[in-house]
Chains A and B, each alone.
Chain A
Amino acid sequence: MFNFMKNRKIWYIISLLVILPGLFSMVTRGFNLGIDFTGGNLVEVRLDRDVKIEQVRTVVEELGYAAARNIQKSGTSDYMIRTRELTEEESATLISTLEQKVGEVNLLRNERVGPVIGRELTMNAIWALLIAAALMIVYMTFRFEFKQGVAAVTGLLHDVLVVMGIFSILQIEIDSAFVAAVLTIVGYSINNTIVIFDRVRENLRTRKKGEALEDLVNVSLWQTMARSINTVLAVLFVLLALYLLGGTTIKNFVLALIIGVTSGFYSSMLTASPLWVDLKLMEKKDNKHREAYSAK
């Protein structure tokens, strides 16, 4: 039986190899914020005939002016396109390209619009998450122990950083749906970790004298392995089906979930669990130090 707890450093290094470039990218390049956050232009056009919305979407996306979800049909031949901020030139390009690809265009309006999600709302979300994490630790302290709570929440933070980092590196546009994806990942991650910690808690009760903590956690991981794999597979079935067969407008949202769920599967076993082992072993060292002092 492979021992996951022996090479804890390797798992930490793998995590850092993903998270650090992501953090670097977040600090230096930031995110490709969608117009939900930044505002932009609202271009409304009337076409001379009824065309499929995909055709309009393809044109706008190819120009790189807007993400797929910002094009709405209104009535039979009017289209509302929310783009990033456009210069006069770009606006003209948009109209002429539409004319070439889909037919006669009648421009109804083209105006600057402000953000839908203000700074306040974003700050709100971050605060809510921090408070939620604190309360989760409180509950886990009560049912498990403080250090398991800290380890579980660290695993959760790990998953959020992985998703945000990858989205920053690849400069994929993020919108309000991304906020929901991050929240979903948080829920999945904490759920996954607690099931493993529950097994650890149970095994601690029947712990034999002299059994190393590493081995106990490792056995717990193996005992819950079938469940961990089956659950992540079940969730990935739905997500992969949505990613491969679903519509274009939810692709980024689903991608965030796929990355997050995979990271959650990894971190429950290889971040939160070894971290708890290390936290416990530190405690032991402290005690040894204390004993050494009191012996003097």
Chain B
Amino acid sequence: MTTTTTGLGSAADVLAVLRDLPGVDQVGLEARAAALSTRSIKKGAKRTAIDLAISMVDLTTLEGADTPGKVRSLAAKALRPDPSDPTCPQVAAVCVYPDLVATARAALGAAPVGVASVATAFPSGRAPLDVKITDTEYAVAAGASEIDMVIDRGAFLAGDLLKVAEEIVAVRAACERGDGTHAHLKVILETGELATYDAVRRASWLAMLAGADFIKTSTGKVSPAATLPVTLLMLEAVRDYRDATGRQVGVKPAGGIRTTKDAIKYLVTVNETAGLDWMTPTWFRFGASSLLNDLLMQRQKFETGRYSGPDYVTID
């Protein structure tokens, strides 16, 4: 394996780091996540949390039926989540397939909303490496500011951890733009297929050592997608990784987060696990589609004191 961006070096070193990671006790991890879920976030704290959550949304459409029209309306929603309220924050990014990146970028214009693109034979990742790299290069050339890649779960489960790491390093290289900047790389672990928490911790570290800017739970195409215990574990991983290396990595739970109540549980977990430094769209994102409208309805309730209903928020 080539030298990783962390400078942690050789394959043997990487494998040693992974071997030395502490185990995860399933019962204890899930109990901690459940305890964090009982935090009561009310009044001003809830208002703050809703706006923060909106600003962290990667507004997503990943369907075979996606069209330029669909992506343009998604982009419009990203720019003006609540057309009736100009104080409503914009989302962090829209998330589309590579062939629709250019459409999304054009629709967003110069607004500070990113375009994230899933690449690397999303969602299965079952394609040769050069296909994955071409996929990534295409999306970056079309204007993607962020690439959401999938790891090779087959290789991971078969024990070929170096193959997983080498692919991440190669895709990370494909994110380079030539002017010294790079599209930010989010690495999807597809935790629902990794099956154990120990594997999730190992995969998180493997991705970070190989140069991930973000680690992401799921594609959204596999059940279970994001869960609070898995996200808690990944937040512990980025916290410990920064302590060990000095490099900060972001976390993105994706799939199945549909309500404000759920989003707030995630924010509380970020707040009490990784801490304040991650309480920004720069380092934490929600991969979501229907979540945004629930956040907007809750936000409108603060303005009017009443729940408005689904016809008072826009569909895309």
Q: Does A associate with B in a complex?
A: no
